[in-house]
Amino acid sequence: MLKFLNEDDVKFKGVKHYVSLKKKWNEDKPYGLTWRNKFSSKPSVGAMVWLCEQMNPTSYEDFYEKYIESGNDTTVKNKKYRGRTYDEIEDVAIRWRDECKDYETPLSEYYDAIILHTVIETYMGKYFEDKAIKCLEENGFTVEHGTDEEDSLMNIDLKVYKEGKLLYLLQVKPISFIIGPRLHTKLDRLNVFEKHEVGHSKYPGIPYVYLIYDGDTNMWLYNKEKERCIFSYDELVKKNGWSVRSAKAMKEDETDELFKKQ
């Protein structure tokens, strides 16, 4: 049973509402770093990418409803592999607010920020990932999802094959991950280097490649140097965790076709 929130507080409010929260709730202090370090983990909110694949939602709202419904599944022993109930999300919101010591912001806004980080951002990533898979398969590649462990420990979204041979370890990322100026995003970018080392220990000699999407324009970033949409990580991120190019420079070349620039 909800302690403080009501039915209106926890109803799905539409994608635009949640996206509008990004600027405030992605700030390092007091929200972003606390979320990253204490509440974004799989034991806290579930293995979101894995859950999205299993649930195969048809919309953002459908994913939210299935996420809540899955939270009530008592047959799942490892809570990473189920969603969360309204009560459980409210509890995370309460603890997040207590950590931030910000009691002026309504608890319902903390709740909505959790839905932004879990349901909305995950489903948006899946939308672009599905577009990439469809395009790759239409061009003769075979695509296999990384396991939950490969995703979390090795930064592998997809494994791309041609005629049975593994060619690439593929990540599909939003441009905000690459150019985000906040400390918690920079720390996530730095962590990628370590994950690549783990991935290469399992798949030696197989390169990581990145597809970068711009959710604002629904387009892919185009790599002029390669004349393709793929990037290596060092073309995007420096060893110190900062982006190689500015947001403006990266957005200069975008396309809605992965294999052919318009």
Domains of the chain: 7-123 (no CATH), 139-255 (3.40.1350)
At 262 the pLDDT is 42
Q: Is the dihedral of CA 188, 190, 194, 199 positive or negative?
A: positive
- Residue 6 has what DSSP assignment? -
Q: Tens digit of pLDDT for each residue in 226-238?
A: 999 999 999 999 9
With a cut of 70, say whether residue 261 has pLDDT above it: no
> Closest Cα partner for 89 from 45, 123, 55, 49?
45
Q: Tens digit of pLDDT for each residue in 125-134?
A: 999 999 999 9
Residues 127 and 68: beta-carbon distance below 8 Å: no
Q: Length of the chain, please?
A: 262
